[in-house]
Amino acid sequence: MKSDTQPFQVLRLDHIVLRVSDLARSIAFYGEVLGCRVEKRRDDLGLIHLRAGASMIDLVAVDGPIGRRGGAAAGESGRNLDHVCLRIEPFDEPTIIAHLAAFGLAPLGEAEPNFGAEGDGLSLYFHDPDGNLLELKGPAG
């Protein structure tokens, strides 16, 4: 809620920017596994905007103009961020696990309730090709 001293109100996550080592691999991963589609390309910046529901996931090449600002690529000694949570519906754990398995992926454990923007809901975690941790979160319940 906006106060008298706060000039704006945060409404929702607009976008995140992930630095990736292979744009084509990441575009394929986010497209095939999560159903995100390329909304806009900025090849001059090494930047791809992917539609993720009402939000965006932006990918930048670590060796591109924007990506170089972040230093070395994410790996065992460092990460770009802790994790990205994507609100999904429906949340059917066996179906999600089967879908991930079709891409050679497995969740890091069983679905567990976690707190998010809508309250507590079940979540599954897994990694993208660059080691970024993704959380798939169902509705509060």
Q: Using CB atoms within 10 Å of the CB of residue 12, give its burial: 0 to 12 exposed, 13 to 18 middle, 19+ buried.
A: exposed
Reading the block at residue 12, the tokens are 């929702």
Q: Give per-residue pLDDT as tens, 49-74.
A: 999 998 999 998 988 888 888 777 87
Q: Using CB atoms within 10 Å of the CB of residue 52, give its burial: 0 to 12 exposed, 13 to 18 middle, 19+ buried.
A: buried
Q: What is the pTM of this model?
A: 0.76
Residue linked to tokens 């001293």: 5
**pLDDT of res. 129:** 92
Reading the block at residue 128, the tokens are 């993208």
According to DSSP H, which parts of 47-126 are helical? 93-101
